[in-house]
Structure 1
């Protein structure tokens, strides 16, 4: 029954690629989540000061014009092309990528097929993971593949829910990854010709330094989300609130003036804990 509840929430969340309004949270929980986000911020960066005024001016800079370097423009365009590729279960390369994800996550377990109850062990909602890609597309699978190949220890720790006091009903790992990919696309304003929000503007600068910046940011965001989950003692139905708190924290980190590489994010160190 719990799986059905999540399906219903996701159908609303993913339908027609709606804007950020789909990540609603209840009025009663807003103050509590803000407190946890602030506590998490302090724990992550210690005495490091936030560039509060810079962050608060993000709205005023949304319409500011700025120039991209040739490499920034090239890499942003490639990333936007990736964002616009839907997942197609009929494409052999997409099938191969999905199988690769399984074999990287469970190297000693044979996969019985692209449709199998085995997929639930990774946190997909049903036996056919293809149905979970609606609204975000192939890039979310690429993000998960990058995570397991680049940071396998972190990936497996989160997938198997090791560490911390866990809830009776945990968030489904793979579906959480798709939600995180979607959240990052919206947060960075990647559907625009070029980002107009401050985190997006700063991210393009990071992308100019490292073409894998988006994939690395996905891994960082996943670790941040899990840390928020534990800090908030969250339950199954709290996932959207946790994701919202994660977004707020990540926006703050992307607004620090001394972030010159994606590895400079305070939360990046979570990948090696």
Structure 2
């Protein structure tokens, strides 16, 4: 049983419509489910292809647009602290594994950086609360914020079956209905999922050793 919960209240504002729609989608996985696919409307196909093009873009540190996006992420995260370079020990403050964040984007690609930026720009308070671990009873050693964010992008792509020609599960098919209504649906779902992950982390009283 794969259960997908999204609560509207975890991220305020325009994410609420998506939260309500995906409040509880429960999928019983069977052999027949794995072989089935869901038919899409022309609008849904176009939105899926557009999202897949985003997913297929790897992070490339030689591309100016990617460099600028990474700098923008730093400025959104630490507006009062000057970044000394795209390769810097400062990045560890954000939860990257080393001084070069580009090595951590391999699993999520450029879209994971876009997800971060969307979160930071549209829900700055929630973004800062997660970055600085300002809510709840925290462990001394917490999960790495940046690495967690990249992992969430990757997890959502797999869960929603977004690399398939057509969705092969109800969760993916339901999501594409929302994507056809709002092209930012994936970014919104990313924000909600990040908040939910943090809520679950707190409820488990987890520490860094539990992060996987």
Q: What TM bracket, shorter-length normalisation?
A: 0.7 to 0.9
1:57 to partner: Cα distance = 6.2
Residues 1:82 and 2:54 are matched in the alignment: yes
The answer as to whether partners of 1:118 and 1:127 remain within 8 angstroms in 2 is yes
1:78 to partner: Cα distance = 0.5
The answer as to whether partners of 2:39 and 2:166 remain within 8 angstroms in 1 is no
1:66-105 alignment, distance < 5 Å: 66-105=38-77
1:63 to partner: Cα distance = 3.2
Question: Aligned equivalents of 1:199 and 1:50: distance in 2?
Answer: 10
Question: Aligned equivalents of 2:73 and 2:39: distance in 1?
Answer: 38
Structure 1's consecutive aligned runs of 4 or more residues displaced over 6 angstroms after TM superposition are none
Q: Relative to total residues, which structure has the larger helix share, 1 or 2?
A: 1
Question: Aligned equivalents of 1:142 and 1:192: distance in 2?
Answer: 21
Question: Aligned equivalents of 1:116 and 1:95: distance in 2?
Answer: 13
TM-score norm. by structure 1 comes to: 0.67
Residues 1:167 and 2:152 are matched in the alignment: no
How much is the aligned-residue C-alpha RMSD, in angstroms? 2.3
Question: Aligned equivalents of 2:145 and 2:169: distance in 1?
Answer: 29
Indicate how the Cα distance of structure 1 residues 205 and 50 shifts in structure 2: closer, same or farther if over 3 A, else same.
Answer: closer
**Correspondence for 1:189:** 161
1:58 to partner: Cα distance = 6.8
TM-score norm. by structure 2 comes to: 0.85
> Which runs of no fewer than 5 residues in structure 1 stay unpaired?
1-36, 241-273
**Correspondence for 2:13:** none
Q: Deviations over 1:129-162 (max 9, x none)?
A: 1111112210100000000001000000000000
